[in-house]
Amino acid sequence: MSKEFFRLKSEPSLTVIELLLPETLDGLEFDRFSDDLWTVLDAKPAHVWILDLAGVQYMGSAVLGLMVNIRQRVKDSRGQLVMCNMTSRLMAVFRTCSLERLFTIVKTRADAIKRFVPAKT
């Protein structure tokens, strides 16, 4: 049975990618995960993306590198990327690697959505 490493939640103006990563990925799992993620991102290059990290406790160097590459691809295509629901452990990894300066990171998915969806009056 194939593992599910992310789920998509589409809104009218944005897409939420809920990452569901185990603490370790073997090489084949990582390749499948990254290929599947690139397929999703390439379908809507100039789009608003929210990476919901509630299902991630830790990212190894390969996944951190993938996140940097995703950020760059989204930026180059004039899209936008926000990360949310980062655990304190994962935030410590990002700080240790000085990655928190590269990404827009907000506390909750609602906070991320508010950045892009106008409030209803």
Domain 6-114 - what CATH class? alpha beta
Split at pLDDT 50, 70, 90, the class of 1 is very low
Between CA 68 and CA 23 the distance in angstroms is 18
pLDDT in tens, 37-84: 999 999 998 999 999 999 999 999 999 999 999 999 999 999 999 999
Helix (H, G, I), strand (E, B) or coil at 70: helix
pLDDT value, residue 13: 87
Write out the E strands in 4-96: 6-10, 15-19, 48-52, 80-84
